[in-house]
Amino acid sequence: MVVWKQRGIALKSLYCGNGKPKFKSIGNEFLFSEIRANQQKRKMANTYTQLYVQFVFSVQGRANFIMESFRDELEKVMCGIVSNHKCKTYALYCNPDHTHLFASMHPTISPSKLMEQVKSGSSTWLNNKKCIPGKFVWQEE
């Protein structure tokens, strides 16, 4: 802190984090500032995230229920569900008894929540289309 006189007023110089002086009068508490009000409000720098996750999940009991006849359509449904949650699918393949999904994750959704949505949405679609006899269910864990 430096104290000096300017035009008969004792001034105290305070230095802020950005190196620009901020002047405050000692005598009458009048504030002089070279720092704009919007510069005083510090903003956090932008955050960049790059989250990639590979999921492998199975049909309940590892049964061969995913048939070639509806596999492409099922993969499109799953891609749509992933896209609706601000994520991006990079690779997806449905084998007869399990599925591989490689996706980038949006930071606002957890991997478990995305899987919950993909599994429930795709099994609902399969059951509504009646692609297989009986009820289609993904393995829980």
| pLDDT-based confidence at residue 33 (cuts at 50, 70, 90) | very low
Sketch out the chain's domains with CATH numbers: 2-35 (no CATH), 51-129 (3.30.70.1290)
Report CA torsion sign: 56, 76, 133, 137.
Answer: positive
Q: Taking the CA of residue 131 as centre, how many other CA atoms within 13 Å lie in the half-sphere pointing to its CB? A: 21
Q: Which two tokens stand for residue 40?
A: 């005083």
| pLDDT-based confidence at residue 140 (cuts at 50, 70, 90) | confident
Please, which residues bridge with residue 105 across strands? 51
Residue 34 is predicted with a pLDDT of 41
CA 74 to mean position of chain CA atoms? 25
Residue 25 has pLDDT above 60, yes or no: no
Contact by Cβ (8 Å): 33, 14: no
Cβ-based neighbours of 23, under 8 Å, separated by 6 or more: 11, 12, 13, 14, 31, 32, 33, 34
CA 101 to mean position of chain CA atoms? 18
Whole-model pTM over 0.75: no
User: Residues 69-111: pLDDT tens digits?
Assistant: 999 999 999 999 999 999 999 999 999 999 999 999 999 999 9
